[in-house]
Chains A and B, each alone.
Chain A
Amino acid sequence: MAIIRTVDLTKRFKELTAVDHLNLSVEDGEVFGLLGPNGAGKTTTVLMLATVIKPSDGTAVVGEFDIRKNPDDVRQLIGICFQEPKLLWVSTPWDVLNWHAKVCGLTKQERKKRVKLVLEDVDMWDHRRKNVHGLSGGMRKRVEIAKILIQRPRIAFIDEPTAQIDVIGKHKIWNMIRELRDEGSTIILATNELYEADILSDRVAIMHHGKLLICDTPKTLKDSIPGGDIVEIRLEDEAAQTLVTELRNFPEVADVVETTTKNLRIYLNRVEEVVPQIMKLFLSNNLPIASINMAEPSLDDVFVHYTGLTIEEAQQKVH
């Protein structure tokens, strides 16, 4: 069941069209990745869905409410973890979270309990009385994430959760996002980190220049690249041409390149299904395999396939 559905959602800032007739739906309980370079329109989309800014055209239904007609009701369902931590005028992580919990309607008793629990979860308990402006970037980001964990909204928008975070911090935040999903929140994850989108998202929508290029599961997206998987096989003897032809006849195989007489590079799709068949073929032809190496395409390859640019190149073009 779709919990978010956008209909030609568009946002223009004077001449710039930040989001251009976006049509997508997010299923209840999934982690939905919005992937794209900076300037792709991810944050603007999130801000529109969160009723922070109004669309220029089109609309979206969040939960059962239209963002144009019932913004107050939409805000009861959502929570945002912003790209840049918003730490308010209060001075300590405890105060920031306590204030947030208060505004979200938690009772004093609940607040005290949940703020403590979450501060411990994000490893900020020992820093709870420090001035937020003296905290490191990673710590500030954890306080920002903690807001969502305290609120436990039905729909959580998380914008670039691990930007400027070290590797250990990234893993902690990824685990927190998974826990939030396991507790029943639907998560919209806006990111330009391909690996992050790949490992966390149930489905990924790739945006570029404000437009939706494609939306599906990471696996389907990767499989959608013709010959995206690569299998390199080193044989103990030379491969017969009939075998190469047979390999080319597999519907999943896009191309077979003989790099040497004993080395074959096979470009194909759905590698995990096809490799056993290939092995069977070699065995039935009494052709021993010395080694086999497989490489799957990444979401970066998907992005390149649909835009002709790597995500870094796309970002450089924006700047």
Chain B
Amino acid sequence: MAVPRLTLKTTFVVAAALVALFQLAAVTLASLPPNRYSDAAAPHTTYLSPMFTQNWRLFAPNPIAEDRRILFQGSYRAADGTQKQTEWVDWTDVELDLIHHRLIGGRAGYVTNKLFSPLGARYGKLLDAQRHVAVTTEEKDPPSWSELSKSLLAAGPSRPDSTEVYLRYERATIRLATEVLQARWPERTFVAVRYSLNRQRVTPYDARHGSKEEREAARAREIQRLGGWRMPEVGSAAEERVIADFYRRHR
């Protein structure tokens, strides 16, 4: 077997091929579902994230089988001095205007769709006592973010990381909620806002041949998870303007 002599060319080619080979192995192991080999190699494949993150589930193992919606509600001071609640604004429905009956859907049509899972998952990682704190805040006097953070940590001091990540998603969602509500009712001054994550299973496979009404009746009841009341979180004027414009064009 002829082995090429060691030259600049062979050194470069061998080095480049080894790098490529390592990448091939790392991508292979990271792209497969969890297994003992991928788990063993995991410490050596962390470099793949975020540029080469391998997540190719593509509607697997279980394809999405429910409608997911994020709705927002505000509490505002009425002219008579009392505090009143607005009706719910279904922001997912507004975004879906970019998808329905469009061959090429708008990318903004999936924003709340993609927010839904991580927002729910971060809440799910809180301890039971922390979840209780998160959802039982007062509508009349919602906590500031630092007060909420302190209360959450007091309820579950062993989970500072999950609390911090939960608050990050919570705060982002509340900021969107505030701007959406302000776009819907620009004349109102909001005292508190909250969101709701609604999910409803699609019509069961065996009930697919029914009429539209029968198919709708065969669906399981919608499940709602209410977030706690939070102080309104406002962004820049430009941010508010863009969200108000988006709402106007797609409501």
Is B one of A's binding partners? no
B-side interface residues toward A, CB under 8 Å?
none
A-side interface residues toward B, CB under 8 Å?
none
